[in-house]
């Protein structure tokens, strides 16, 4: 029975400070504070007392020594009615709480699913670049979390403050041949420029490499030869200091034959027309393939030497555009490979002595560039069949004939010099994955002015360093490290970059995420090409949609490249060529790479690798749009770096290689009947490809169902993704014997391309097959079953290994091989 008290006046008599009744009604009830301080079963007792208080008990008695009686509740019927409502409320409370909880849970799940679905559907367009809880702005920052739109706006704002055009002009004016005093001075200036920015590390490394230079005391020569094989009148080499580095030295004499571009199919065509190439000198046009490939093909078909000239037909015929002078020759190295050919597979540090071995890519025949004027004189002397219509050029000779013609004597006296070259590095350390590097580099050296060849790339590199340094000062902290590199020795076959890869290969294949090359970035403004690994294609597409076209107002770069084509990748994407510094990163080190190039529509930039590759000529060729085009390349490369260095999950499309394998297999399918007749099959390749597709799909599902906030899990996924390219390096061939071990991009019997060329011999018979030269296989050998089985095993187990590695741990591997 409840205790009753007589009415008490509300004014206190001798009470310690106690809240006025009005204050009790307006302030939180004291019982709430007591609940926070009481633990265990006592807490629940007090909760029950509070509920009793709601029914009319005297809760104030617990808090003040003066006991106050509550107000009169009226009649007995009123009190009974109030008790009934209170009892009903107590019974309904659990159901109300449960209903509210269910509504809240349903709404939360619906919102979560809708958000995940929108992100999956929209892809990177709604990607939050920085949303992890560990993000801490820099000391100079006044911002909070930076999102993709914030970073994009910040990047474009700081990039717009640079002086790209002036840097291009100033760099092109400096003499910077590898190994020269001018190059040493420029290297110190570049290092100083990097040291002045907000970078965590700046350093330089030096390699001592074997470079080949012309001998001023004994210049290269070209003579007519009379019927008695005696030297006749000399043919003047107008650009006497233009040469082919790594050409074989010595003399070569023979009749001259015109061989178009010097491709294997061109040389095979000559044989089919009854014109023999063995024992003769070949006259070939610039273009289509590299100098090194031209000389290698000529050597494989038995030629004694090669002369390379620029034909006006391969350049723009627009009279309003600049063209290459007819007395200019074009420079180009002829090493079928990259790096120092005198230390193949090993880094050239500290003048270390190695066994006297040379790269198998060094030619055994001499080669020399000549001008269009000298080529005209030679073509006029040729006899024999008229060249096919598609072989005709625009020299003042009509028609071009195949030859043979009069005898020629070529003398090449280049000499090898041990030369120090220096690469310069600058680094911004990542905050979450500092041991994973996003690498961007540009060639610094040039044989001539090199405005397009290396000045543009160097200027963009320095501008990106300055821009990202400013971003770091304003709160940008990449998850992964950014590594900026200025390469030396690029004009000799990416010597600087390859030597660095050889020196740190055991580290880089575990740490390098992607390489972005800035070489040859601006050779025009009509077309855009991305020479790249398949892993980067989807990311490139996304970035192209966010970069403005430099010459079409109101359009993005993606809209520009798809203007006349529905298939953007067919218009833009190209394989990495061997003469790109990016090639070694992928084919040798297993690091996905990309090189961007703006080009003229259908015609090559005429001044590349000549003394006329000046700032003025490049600026005139682009009709004053050089700054805008260079800025577009910088925007593209910079936004690519942001995504690669800051996304939680690396944006590499590891499923793309399944399509690459399928495309190659479709080429092999037409020979399945021929193979089956010999008791052979390609089923192993099909099974390995299927396992790779399943492993890629399984990983994609795992990633989609995981939480992005789980840093440990994200790192595990990133490690698997970033090593996909490395998985395609054949583990069954020696890097010393076959440095380019990539089964899709490399060179050698272990590649898918070599297997396809070999299988084609089933129908061609193998006599003089054009593919034989490309794989460095002796012409005349037909299909060999033992070689086919070895090729198939090398290819299949490399592909199967990639599928197993992508699956993750060994207990997760589930294949049908």
Rounded mean pLDDT of 797-817? 78
In this prediction, residue 255 has a pLDDT band, given cuts at 50, 70 and 90, of very high
Q: Which residues belong to CATH 1.20.930.40 in the chain?
A: 655-765+781-807
Supply the pLDDT for residue 227: 79
Chain centre distance of CA 109: 38
Q: Which residues belong to CATH 3.40.630.10 in the chain?
A: 148-210+417-646
- Output the CATH code of domain 219-412: 3.50.30.30
E-state strands within 364-493: 367-369, 407-412, 415-428, 433-443, 480-487
Supply the pLDDT for residue 245: 97
Ranking 85-99, 471-485, 622-636, 718-732 by mean pLDDT, the lowest is: 85-99
User: Which carries the bigger pLDDT value, residue 769 or residue 230?
Assistant: 230
Q: How far apart are CA 341 and CA 209, in angstroms?
A: 9
Q: Are strands 201-213 and 593-599 parallel, antiparallel or unpaired?
A: unpaired
pLDDT surpassing 70 at residue 137: no
Q: How far apart are CA 404 and CA 258, in angstroms?
A: 8
SS3 789: helix
Put residue 229 in one of left, alpha, beta given phi > 0 → left and psi -120 to 50 → alpha.
Answer: left
SS3 315: coil
Q: Which residues belong to CATH 3.50.30.30 in the chain?
A: 219-412
pLDDT surpassing 80 at residue 747: yes
Ranking 171-185, 641-655, 724-738 by mean pLDDT, the lowest is: 724-738
- Dihedral sign, Cα of residue 552, residue 554, residue 558, residue 562: negative
Express as a percent the part of the chain with pLDDT over 70.
79
pLDDT surpassing 50 at residue 358: yes
In this prediction, residue 25 has a pLDDT band, given cuts at 50, 70 and 90, of very low
Cα torsion through 551, 555, 559, 563, rounded to 10: -60
pLDDT surpassing 90 at residue 163: no
pLDDT surpassing 50 at residue 203: yes
Ranking 100-104, 250-254, 443-447, 465-469 by mean pLDDT, the lowest is: 100-104
In this prediction, residue 352 has a pLDDT band, given cuts at 50, 70 and 90, of low
In this prediction, residue 4 has a pLDDT band, given cuts at 50, 70 and 90, of very low
DSSP 3-state percent helix, strand, coil across the chain (nearest 5): 45, 15, 45
**Structural tokens at position 13:** 């008599």
In this prediction, residue 256 has a pLDDT band, given cuts at 50, 70 and 90, of very high
**Structural tokens at position 366:** 């001499």
In this prediction, residue 20 has a pLDDT band, given cuts at 50, 70 and 90, of very low
Give yes or no for a contact between 314 and 290, defined as CB atoms under 8 angstroms apart.
no
E-state strands within 136-265: 201-213, 221-225, 231-234, 250-258
pLDDT surpassing 50 at residue 560: yes
pLDDT surpassing 80 at residue 623: yes
In this prediction, residue 259 has a pLDDT band, given cuts at 50, 70 and 90, of very high
**Structural tokens at position 464:** 């990106």
Highest mean pLDDT among 27-41, 620-634, 700-714: 620-634
SS3 205: strand
Of 311, 286, 282, 310, which Cα lies nearest the Cα of 297? 282
User: Which carries the bigger pLDDT value, residue 376 or residue 12?
Assistant: 376
Q: How far apart are CA 278 and CA 296, in angstroms?
A: 13
Q: How far apart are CA 55 and CA 82, in angstroms?
A: 8
* Tens digit of each residue's pLDDT (9 = 90 or more) over 176-193: 999 999 999 999 999 999
Highest mean pLDDT among 237-241, 350-354, 420-424: 420-424
- Output the CATH code of domain 655-765+781-807: 1.20.930.40
Q: How far apart are CA 227 and CA 723, in angstroms?
A: 61
Other Cβ atoms less than 10 A from the Cβ of 14: the count is 6
Supply the pLDDT for residue 300: 95
Q: How far apart are CA 185 and CA 177, in angstroms?
A: 11
Supply the pLDDT for residue 146: 72
Question: For residue 427, which phi and psi values (nearest 5 degrees)?
Answer: -135, 135
Other Cβ atoms less than 10 A from the Cβ of 802: the count is 26
* Tens digit of each residue's pLDDT (9 = 90 or more) over 53-109: 444 444 443 433 444 344 444 454 454 554 555 555 566 666 776 777 777 777 666
Supply the pLDDT for residue 2: 43
**Structural tokens at position 273:** 């027309």
pLDDT surpassing 90 at residue 644: yes
Rounded mean pLDDT of 430-453? 95
Supply the pLDDT for residue 149: 84
Supply the pLDDT for residue 510: 87
Q: How far apart are CA 119 and CA 115, in angstroms?
A: 6
User: Which carries the bigger pLDDT value, residue 708 or residue 444?
Assistant: 444
* Tens digit of each residue's pLDDT (9 = 90 or more) over 240-249: 889 999 999 9
For residue 349, the 8-state DSSP code is: B
Question: For residue 739, which phi and psi values (nearest 5 degrees)?
Answer: -65, -30
Rounded mean pLDDT of 779-796? 84
pTM beyond 0.85, yes or no: no
* Tens digit of each residue's pLDDT (9 = 90 or more) over 464-494: 999 999 999 998 999 999 999 999 999 999 9
Q: Are strands 221-225 and 407-412 parallel, antiparallel or unpaired?
A: antiparallel
**Structural tokens at position 116:** 């995940």
SS3 607: coil
Supply the pLDDT for residue 82: 47
Q: How far apart are CA 162 and CA 158, in angstroms?
A: 7
Q: Are strands 480-487 and 512-517 parallel, antiparallel or unpaired?
A: unpaired
According to DSSP, the residues that pair with 532 across neighbouring strands are 594
Give yes or no for a contact between 594 and 605, defined as CB atoms under 8 angstroms apart.
no
pLDDT surpassing 70 at residue 547: yes
Of 764, 639, 761, 649, which Cα lies nearest the Cα of 705? 649
In this prediction, residue 351 has a pLDDT band, given cuts at 50, 70 and 90, of low
Supply the pLDDT for residue 514: 97
What is the Cα gyration radius of the chain?
37
Give yes or no for a contact between 600 and 527, defined as CB atoms under 8 angstroms apart.
yes
What's the per-residue H, E or C state across 490-531? HHHCCHHHHHHHHHCHHHHHHHEEEEEECCCCEECCCEEEEE
Q: Across all residues in the chain, what is the average pLDDT?
A: 82
**Structural tokens at position 787:** 């070689």
Put residue 425 in one of left, alpha, beta given phi > 0 → left and psi -120 to 50 → alpha.
Answer: beta
Q: How far apart are CA 510 and CA 720, in angstroms?
A: 10
Rounded mean pLDDT of 423-448? 96
* Tens digit of each residue's pLDDT (9 = 90 or more) over 519-541: 999 999 889 999 999 999 999 99
**Structural tokens at position 650:** 């690396």
Other Cβ atoms less than 10 A from the Cβ of 322: the count is 16
Supply the pLDDT for residue 125: 34
Express as a percent the part of the chain with pLDDT over 90.
56
Q: How far apart are CA 552 and CA 557, in angstroms?
A: 9
**Structural tokens at position 140:** 């100079």
Q: CATH homologous superfamily of domain 148-210+417-646? A: Zn peptidases (3.40.630.10)
Supply the pLDDT for residue 47: 40
Q: How far apart are CA 794 and CA 732, in angstroms?
A: 7
Supply the pLDDT for residue 523: 94
């Amino acid at each position: 029975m409840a205790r009753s008290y007589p009415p008490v006046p509300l004014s206190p008599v001798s009470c310690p400070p106690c809240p006025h009744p009005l204050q009790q009604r307006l302030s939180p009830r004291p019982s709430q504070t007591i609940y926070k301080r009481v633990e265990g079963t006592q807490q629940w007792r007090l909760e029950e007392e509070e509920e009793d208080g709601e029914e009319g008990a005297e809760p104030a008695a617990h808090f003040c020594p003066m006991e106050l009686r509550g107000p009169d509740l009226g009649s007995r019927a009123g009190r009974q009615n109030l008790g009934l409502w209170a009892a009903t409320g107590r019974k309904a409370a659990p159901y109300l709480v449960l209903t509210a909880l269910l509504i809240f849970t349903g709404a939360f799940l619906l919102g979560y699913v809708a958000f995940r679905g929108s992100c999956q559907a929209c892809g990177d367009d709604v990607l939050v670049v920085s949303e992890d809880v560990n993000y801490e702005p820099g000391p100079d920052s006044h911002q909070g979390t930076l999102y993709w739109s914030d970073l994009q706006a910040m990047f474009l704002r700081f990039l717009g403050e640079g002086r790209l055009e002036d840097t291009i002009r100033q760099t092109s004016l400096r003499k910077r041949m590898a190994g020269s005093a001018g190059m040493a001075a420029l290297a110190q200036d570049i290092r100083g420029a990097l040291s002045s920015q907000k970078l965590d590390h700046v350093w330089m490394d030096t390699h001592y490499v074997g470079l080949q230079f012309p001998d001023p005391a004994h210049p290269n020569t070209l003579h007519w030869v009379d019927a008695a094989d005696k030297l006749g009148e000399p043919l003047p080499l107008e650009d006497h200091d233009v040469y082919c580095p790594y050409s074989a030295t010595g003399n070569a004499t023979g009749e001259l034959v015109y061989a178009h571009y010097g491709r294997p199919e061109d040389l095979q065509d000559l044989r089919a027309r009854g014109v023999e190439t063995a024992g003769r000198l070949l006259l070939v046009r610039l273009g289509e393939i590299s100098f090194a490939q031209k000389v290698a093909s000529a050597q494989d078909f038995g030629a004694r030497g090669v002369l390379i000239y620029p034909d006006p037909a391969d350049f723009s015929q627009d009279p309003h555009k600049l063209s290459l002078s007819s007395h200019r020759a074009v420079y180009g190295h002829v090493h079928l490979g990259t790096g120092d050919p005198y230390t193949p597979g090993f880094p050239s540090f500290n003048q270390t002595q190695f066994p006297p071995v040379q790269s198998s890519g060094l030619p055994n025949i001499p080669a020399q560039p000549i001008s269009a004027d000298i080529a005209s004189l030679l073509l006029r002397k040729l006899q024999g069949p008229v060249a096919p219509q598609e072989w005709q050029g625009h020299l003042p000779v009509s028609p071009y004939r195949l030859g043979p013609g009069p005898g020629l004597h070529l003398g090449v006296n280049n000499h090898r010099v041990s030369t120090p070259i220096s690469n310069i590095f600058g680094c911004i350390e990542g905050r979450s994955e500092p041991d994973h590097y996003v690498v961007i580099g540009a060639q610094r050296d040039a044989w001539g002015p090199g405005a397009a060849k290396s000045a543009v790339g160097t200027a963009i590199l320095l501008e990106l360093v300055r821009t990202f340094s400013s971003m770091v000062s304003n709160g940008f902290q990449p998850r992964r490290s950014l590594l900026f590199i200025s390469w030396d020795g690029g004009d000799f076959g990416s010597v600087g970059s390859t030597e660095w890869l050889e020196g740190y290969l055991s580290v880089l294949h575990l740490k390098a995420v992607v390489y972005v090359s800035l070489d040859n970035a601006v050779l025009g403004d009509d077309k855009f090409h991305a020479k790249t690994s398949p892993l980067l294609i989807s990311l490139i597409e996304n970035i192209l949609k966010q970069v403005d076209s430099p010459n079409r107002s109101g359009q993005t770069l993606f809209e520009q490249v798809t203007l006349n084509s529905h298939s953007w990748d067919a218009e833009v994407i190209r394989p990495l060529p061997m003469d790109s510094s990016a090639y070694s990163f992928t084919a040798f080190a297993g690091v996905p790479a990309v090189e961007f190039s703006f080009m003229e529509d259908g015609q090559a930039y005429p001044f590349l690798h000549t003394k006329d590759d000046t700032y003025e000529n490049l600026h005139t060729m682009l009709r004053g749009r050089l700054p805008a085009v260079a800025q577009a390349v910088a925007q593209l490369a910079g936004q690519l770096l942001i995504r690669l260095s800051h996304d939680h999950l690396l944006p590499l499309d590891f499923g793309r290689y399944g399509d690459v394998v399928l495309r190659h297999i479709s080429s092999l399918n037409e020979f399945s009947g021929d193979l089956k007749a010999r008791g052979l099959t390609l089923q192993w390749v099909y099974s390995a490809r299927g396992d790779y597709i399943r492993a890629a799909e399984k990983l994609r599902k795992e990633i989609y169902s995981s939480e992005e906030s789980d840093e440990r899990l994200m790192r595990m996924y990133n490690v698997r993704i970033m090593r996909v390219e490395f998985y395609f390096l054949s583990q069954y061939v020696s890097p010393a014997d076959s440095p380019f071990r990539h089964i899709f991009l490399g060179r050698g019997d272990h590649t898918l391309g070599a297997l396809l060329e070999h299988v084609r011999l089933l129908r061609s018979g193998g006599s003089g097959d054009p593919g034989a030269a490309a794989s460095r296989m002796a012409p005349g050998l037909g299909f060999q079953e033992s070689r086919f089985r070895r090729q198939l095993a090398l290819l299949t187990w490399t592909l199967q290994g990639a599928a197993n590695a992508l699956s993750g741990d060994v207990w997760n591997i589930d294949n049908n091989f």
